[in-house]
Amino acid sequence: MAVGQILEEDDGVEEPGVPRLRLAVLTSDKGWPYSWEEDVSIRDCHVNCEVERVWQIVKGNVNKWFDTHRGTYFAPKRRVLIGTPGMGKSVAAGSYLLYQLLHCDAEQLPMVAYFIGNRTFLFGKIAKTVSVYMGEASILRIVDGLPDRGFKGYIIYDVALACRQPAAGLPCKGWGMIVVTPPNKNNYYSWAKQTGAEEFIINCLEENNVKAMCAWIKRNQIPQKQAKYWKEVNGCTNKVGPILRFIFGKQASDDRINACQQAVDGMNALTFERYLYIGYC
């Protein structure tokens, strides 16, 4: 998929004889930062119209930032991307944002940082380097001095650890930042309030998006096996919803159903009231 190409949202209108593009796949031989944290190799980043919509929102603000005249101060918007746990926002939206930001003009945006877990990956686009920092304290000292040296940058902060908000010093002066998080306010609320961050939601996949993913995963199989695989995944989706972490295997789906049943059985008035205030998409 070429940089700048756009996956459009399905408006229900298709040109006769022209199938709508449902999915684009970005493949990295070294995997994506999300998989590095999980110590697994996830080479494919699946991009659908929702993932593209997230980038277009970020891109609009980044372009305004680039168009600001030299000497005029412009603070990029801070944003919080909220999505259902397990739906793929980290491995898809987080990775795609990184891909696109790394392909922005290096002179205009020379630095990109990706925070996940206890590690931060700092990409220097002009020198074409990537540095890895353990813990937030070390990277905070580094990025805090970059704006004074004229380096613009953008931070992707993936809340991979429960109830851990970004540090109060993020982002550094003049940098942009987006937090990728499930709908648990303990992960972002204080930081968002302090920085005036704008919240928005990434929606779960539609059926045709999941079907396209199945077609890609089984692209080297005969049609009969592709159809069987889609039937299995679709059955799991009907039971647990379009949550990628739980639909591409019967065991994962069954475990999810059992966990949900246990949560319902153990619910009391207090937990019921708490769940009323948790958003969903």
Q: Alpha helices, DSSP H only, in 124-222?
A: 136-144, 189-195, 207-217
Looking at 1.10.3470, 1.10.287, 2.40.128, 3.40.50, the CATH number of the domain 24-201 comes to 3.40.50
Pure H helices in 26-75:
33-38, 49-67
pLDDT of residue 280: 47
Domains of the chain, by residue range, sit at 24-201, 207-275
Cβ neighbours around 35 below 10 Å, total: 19
Strands 44-47 and 24-27: antiparallel
Q: What is the pLDDT of residue 192?
A: 95
Q: Quote the pLDDT of residue 142.
A: 85
**How many angstroms separate the CA atoms of 53 and 50, rounded?**
5
CA distance 229 to 249: 10
Kindly give the confidence (pLDDT) of every residue in the chain, 281 residues in length, as a single tens digit, with 9 standing for 90 and above.
Answer: 444 555 565 555 455 555 667 899 999 888 888 777 666 678 889 999 999 999 999 999 899 888 876 656 677 889 999 998 887 777 789 999 999 999 999 999 999 999 988 889 999 999 999 999 988 787 888 888 888 788 889 999 998 766 688 988 899 888 999 999 998 888 999 999 999 999 999 998 899 999 999 999 999 999 999 999 999 999 999 999 999 889 988 898 999 999 988 988 888 888 777 776 655 44
DSSP state of 220: T
Q: How many CB atoms lie within 10 A of CB 65?
A: 19
CA distance 181 to 247: 21
Q: CA 168 to CA 175: how far, in whole Å?
A: 14
What is the pTM for the complete model shown? 0.85
